[in-house]
Amino acid sequence: MSQTPSRPKKIWLNGKLVPPQDATVNVYDHGLLYGDGVFEGIRIYSGRILKCATHLARLYESAKAIRLVIPYSPAQLTAAMRDLIKANDRQNGYIRLCVTRGVGSLGLNPNTCETPSVFIIADGISLYPAEMYQNGMSVITASTIRNHPAALSPRIKSMNYLNNILAKIEAIDAGVPEAVMLNHLGYVAECTADNIFLVQDRKSGPVLRSPPLHAGALEGVTMNIVLGLAAKAGIPIERHDLTKHDLYVADEMFLTGTGAEVVPVTAVDGRSIGTGKPGKTTQKLIQAFRKLVAKNAPED
């Protein structure tokens, strides 16, 4: 499902399509200086913008939470994304839609920023090699925890990803592509860029388990798609606090994310999950997701 990244022909920047070399951000922009801004990562499948309306709703909710007024309407941003897709002749790939506080002074005061800056990139994406979707990946649990919810709500998709990056460095140092992040109470929150799911095989059949939003997870768009697919397939869903023990004794595990889609996990902290291979429920949900986006990806 992944596509090799290629340099886009155009970038949408504050209402104009410009060449990448001209798509510049001012060094006084508070998005650059302080991570003051919000963003969305969105997938394109066969020219359709997957869950476009849902992504934009989350973008505006994140902006509202940090008291940032986006200077374009959802309809205008939708049109901008479609124009950009057409300009780059891209039928499949990834959109990064960013809104910064804008150019201001060398100080934290956001009121010095007169106009927010908005830019959109449409490009290819390849987070993980194809064999990981077939054979699964290994992950670790990171010592770096998710932001405390009283400091920065995990429901806000902000440009401040430094704690996720530190956890990602731990994963890289351990020779694996991802890390599970715990919250301040020691419960499983999410991975550095993906939501996490466990499968527990019971006498009644497989049960899908995932951390609740209050544990510190972003409400993932792909996560919600998979929850819907599981419900449609008759797979029971449990959302409650999970510990590292729950990870270690799970029968299956997989991650979901806009870039990652649905990818199986077969080992955590050097411990095999289940049989050490992608399980039947994981494979079933991967196929259901791929079928959903193959020809008529929902844009609502």
**The Cα angle at residue 206 between residues 204 and 208, in degrees rounded to 5:** 130
The residue written with tokens 């798609």 in the block is: 225
Bridging pattern class, strands 137-141 and 16-18: unpaired
What is the distance between the alpha carbons of residues 230 and 253, in angstroms, rounded to a whole number? 14
C-alpha torsion angle, residues 87, 90, 95, 96 (rounded to 10): -50
As annotated, the active-site residues are 157
**Which of 235, 234, 232, 228 has the alpha carbon at shortest distance from 251?**
235
Bridging pattern class, strands 117-123 and 205-210: unpaired
Asked whether the beta carbons of 219 and 213 are under 8 A apart, the reply is yes
**Which of 187, 247, 265, 254 has the alpha carbon at shortest distance from 227?**
254
